[in-house]
Homo-oligomer: A and B are copies of this chain.
Amino acid sequence: MTESVVVIGGGAAGASAASRAKKLKPSAEVILIEATDMITHGPCAIPYYVGGIVKGKTQLVTYTPDVFERERGIKVYINSVAREIDVDKKVVFVERNGKSVEVKWDKLVIATGAIPSIPRVPGTNLKNVYTIRHPAYADKLLEDLSKALNVAIVGGSYIGLEMAEALLRIGKKVLLIEMESQLLPKALDKELAEIVAKEVLARGAELHLSEYLEEIVGSDRVKAVATNKDTYNVDAVILATGVKPNVDIAARAGIKLGITRAIDVNEYMETSGEGIYAAGDVAEKVHRVTGKRAWIPLAPSANKEGQVAGANAVSGRVLRFPGVVGTAVTKFFELYIARTGLSEREAVENGFRVESIVIRSRTKAHYYPNHSEAVIKMITESSTGRIIGAQVVGWEETVAMYIDIIAVAIERGMTIEDLFFSDLGYHPAVAPVWHPLIVAARVLSKGRF
Contacts of A424 in B (CB 8 A): 300, 327, 404, 407-408
Residue of B nearest to A324 (CB): B423
Tell whether A426 is near chain B: CB-to-CB under 8 Å: yes
Binds B, one of A192-200, A230-238, A243-251, A363-371: A363-371
Tell whether A279 is near chain B: CB-to-CB under 8 Å: no
How far in angstroms is the closest Cβ of chain B from A339?
9
Contacts of A54 in B (CB 8 A): 367-369
A449 in contact with B311 (CB, 8 Å): yes
How far is B402's CA from A38's CA once the two chains are assembled, in angstroms? 32
How far in angstroms is the closest Cβ of chain B from A61?
9
How far is B62's CA from A24's CA once the two chains are assembled, in angstroms? 57
With A423-B340, A447-B23, A449-B319: A60-B367 Cβ-Cβ less than 8 Å: yes
Binds B, one of A41-49, A68-76, A345-353: A41-49
Residue of B nearest to A158 (CB): B427
**Total interface residues on A, using CB and 8 Å?**
77
Contacts of A434 in B (CB 8 A): 300, 303
How far in angstroms is the closest Cβ of chain B from A96?
29
Tell whether A67 is near chain B: CB-to-CB under 8 Å: no
Tell whether A299 is near chain B: CB-to-CB under 8 Å: yes
How far is B404's CA from A423's CA once the two chains are assembled, in angstroms? 8
A325 in contact with B423 (CB, 8 Å): yes
Residue from B45, B298, B331, B405 within 8 A of A405 (CB atoms): B405
Tell whether A420 is near chain B: CB-to-CB under 8 Å: yes
A403 in contact with B425 (CB, 8 Å): yes
Tell whether A112 is near chain B: CB-to-CB under 8 Å: no
Tell whether A12 is near chain B: CB-to-CB under 8 Å: yes
Which residues of A from 307 to 359 have beta carbons under 8 Å from B?
Answer: 307-308, 311, 318-319, 321-322, 324-331, 336, 338, 340
B433 in contact with A336 (CB, 8 Å): no
Tell whether A422 is near chain B: CB-to-CB under 8 Å: yes
A425 in contact with B59 (CB, 8 Å): no
With A300-B433, A408-B412, A434-B303: A425-B367 Cβ-Cβ less than 8 Å: no
With A45-B367, A367-B48: A298-B426 Cβ-Cβ less than 8 Å: yes
Which among A59, A321, A405 has the greatest number of chain B C-beta atoms within 10 A?
A405
Tell whether A201 is near chain B: CB-to-CB under 8 Å: no
Tell whether A440 is near chain B: CB-to-CB under 8 Å: no
Tell whether A301 is near chain B: CB-to-CB under 8 Å: yes
How far in angstroms is the closest Cβ of chain B from A25?
12
How far is B410's CA from A230's CA once the two chains are assembled, in angstroms? 55
B414 in contact with A42 (CB, 8 Å): no
Tell whether A428 is near chain B: CB-to-CB under 8 Å: yes
Residue from B324, B340, B425 within 8 A of A329 (CB atoms): B425
Tell whether A170 is near chain B: CB-to-CB under 8 Å: no
Tell whether A429 is near chain B: CB-to-CB under 8 Å: yes
With A365-B45, A367-B59, A408-B408: A425-B400 Cβ-Cβ less than 8 Å: yes
Tell whether A125 is near chain B: CB-to-CB under 8 Å: no
5 closest A-B pairs by CB: A401-B401, A59-B367, A412-B412, A329-B427, A329-B425
Task: Identify 9 new A-B residue pairs, CB closer than 8 A, beyond the known A300-B434, A331-B430.
Answer: A44-B426, A45-B367, A53-B369, A300-B438, A304-B421, A400-B430, A401-B425, A405-B408, A408-B412
